[in-house]
Amino acid sequence: MDEYLRLYFIELKLLIFDMAPWLLLGFLIAGVLHVFFPEGKISRILGKGNTRSVINAALIGVPLPLCSCGVIPAGISLYKNGASKGSAVSFLISTPQTGVDSILVTYSMLGLPLAIIRPVIAFLTGVAGGIFTNLLEKQKPVNVSGAGETDGNSTTTNRLFSVVIYAFYDFMRDIAKWLIIGLLIAAFIAVIIPDDFLASYIHNNMLGMIIMLLVSIPLYVCATSSVPIAAVLVAKGLSPGAALVFLMAGPASNAATIAVIGKTLGRRTLIIYLTTLITGALLFGMAVDYILPQAWFSKIFMSEHSHHTHSILPDWIKTGAGILFTLLLANVYLQKWITRLKNHKHQRTSENIMNMKKIKIIVK
């Protein structure tokens, strides 16, 4: 039991350190969107519940180097600043599946065909999810604070300060609880699933896809770090289609993403999100295995890999970002505690005033 607890906290630390740089980047983008892009502008581009807005969201999301953790604050911020639910879902599905960095890594390790297929699939699944969301989910009005409307007379310094405050306190406070819950669940899953669990089912293409799907949906892995894992599994006998399922479902979902989307956008939108992702992963996985020429997917380079390696970032950046993220998260709960104490003290003072004995004083 003690060994499992030790491994659990090690896994939790690794998750936080690996996710922190991308989470902080996502929060920063959310702050920039909130302060520098007025509600009306975002509504014009992504706010209408039509196909064009959904396509725009997917086109914006595909090249962005944000993984499933970093896309959470950015995507939810778009919705809170006037984007339709369909546009937000399109952005949330298409963005984490790929990015400029992961496309280059895919090309180097899995070959040009998959490097082209990944962004195309990310775009198509994002558009499909957004369209289904607009058709099946009623758009509800979103409460947008005045901070989204930038003042032309405000100084650049003040606006940058507003970005930092909104990104790393106001918005972080809104999703901190569900983000923590997702991290705790993801660390638990990472500990209980053996490292060779996936590779043991590579003898059957369809079974491999299903196993990849079941494991990768709640598990955290970013678009870049998923590539070496997929490359090694394909080299050991996993089908390219099953590897594609892992490359799609792993980056586009994890426990934190599921928890936050369900809480912020609603349970029905979460079901549409997961259904689109699961269906798209299986359909495109089967297309790769049974329709496209297998010779396209023969370029696999072996390399050292880890379940949590973001190879483009040095360890000192991940460690520093992890410490900063933890401190910011602690600050959110510290401020909540201070506010609760102040409110409690104010309430006690008010009660004492109300309970004071009434004294009648006659002044001549």
Q: Would you say 334 and 169 are in contact if contact means Cβ atoms under 8 Å apart? A: no
pLDDT number for residue 141: 47
pLDDT number for residue 153: 52
Polymer length in residues for the chain: 364
Q: Is residue 84 helix, strand or coil?
A: coil
Category of 266 on φ-ψ map: left (φ > 0), alpha (ψ -120 to 50) or beta: left
Which tokens sit at 8? 């659990």
Other beta carbons within 10 angstroms of residue 293's beta carbon come to 8
Distances (CA, A) of 343 to 3, 148, 338: 42, 28, 9
pLDDT number for residue 307: 46
pLDDT number for residue 33: 76
With b for 16 or more beta-carbon neighbours within 10 A and e for fewer, the 38-77 pattern comes to bbebbbebbbbbeeebbbbbbebbbebbbbbbbbbbbbbb
With a cut of 70, list the residues of the chain below it in pLDDT: 38-43, 65, 67-69, 138-154, 195-203, 224-225, 298-312, 356-358
pLDDT number for residue 304: 39
- Which residue type is seen at 188? F
CA 83 to chain centre: 17
Q: What is the DSSP letter of 167?
A: I
pLDDT number for residue 324: 95
pLDDT number for residue 126: 95
Which tokens sit at 224? 């870049």
Provide, rounded to the nearest whole percent, the portion of the chain with pLDDT above 70. Answer: 83
Q: Would you say 44 and 346 are in contact if contact means Cβ atoms under 8 Å apart? A: no
Judging by beta carbons within 10 Å of its beta carbon (0-12, 13-18, 19+), is residue 140 exposed, middle or buried? exposed
- Write down the domain spans for the chain: 2-350
Which tokens sit at 130? 């957004």
The reply to whether the predicted model has a pTM over 0.85 is no
Report the chain's mean pLDDT, rounded to a whole number: 80
Which tokens sit at 297? 């997917």
Which tokens sit at 263? 């809480």
For the chain, report the end-to-end CA distance as a whole number of angstroms: 80
Integer Cα distance of 215 and 250 in angstroms: 8
Which tokens sit at 32? 């920039």
pLDDT number for residue 93: 92
Q: What is the DSSP letter of 43?
A: I
Other beta carbons within 10 angstroms of residue 324's beta carbon come to 14
